[in-house]
Amino acid sequence: MVIWYLFLQSGIHSTISGVILAFVIPAKPQLNVGTYIERIRRIISTFPEMGANNIVLTNQQIAKLKEVESASDRVISPLQSLEDNLHGAVNYLVLPLFAFVNAGVMFSGEGEVIGGVTYAVALGLLAGKFLGIYSFTWLAIKSGLTPMPLGMNWKNISGVALLGGIGFTVSLFIANLSFGSTHPVLLNQAKLGVLSGTVIAGILGYLVLHWVLPRKR
């Protein structure tokens, strides 16, 4: 909150504080998975036995369980832990509220509802995102920077790249920064382009993945 307030008072858009803060959250866990598994096995092998009807833990048993809890907390990176904790609030509160506030498209009033900005934004989400994701993935794999993910092929990646065109929240945010209240007609066209591009990208991505992914039997 302090960083957000300082950015707001400085004249810089306050959401930039969240972007900067995300870069300083550690993404590497303190324990790797292999070390974690070895430690858990060692703790379990030395866990004091108790009677089947005994519901009260001894101090030694509580200490062992706290060791398991501590190790489990350290194998999850702070970034993943924060993401998991905020997952429900973001999906069911923040995103719907953001969409409700920012996605209004006016079909009446001055200016054209559909214009050059509409086509440019929709094409950017559809073709731009697809080409960017697919081409950089191809470049990374062909250059040996990273292997092809297990179970994936180029048809799967094309479907995922199409789904990358679902840029609802960030696209609306950029549109508001670009046009704001000074160009309401262009902002309206941009919002329509975001909505149409997102819907088409979602449908195309679903159809491609539905076609290329193996059927469950």
Higher-pLDDT residue of 135 and 186 is: 135
Percent of the chain residues past pLDDT 70, beyond the cut: 92
Cα radius of gyration rounded to whole Å, the chain: 25
- In this prediction the pTM is 0.57
- 162/198 Cα distance (integer angstroms): 10
pLDDT at res. 139: 94
Would you list the DSSP string of 11-56? TS-THHHHHHHHHTS--S-SS-HHHHHHHHHHHHHTPPP--TT--S
Among 8-12, 144-148, 184-188, the range with the most confident prediction by mean pLDDT is 144-148
Task: Identify the CA nearest to 43 among candidates 53, 35, 51.
Answer: 35
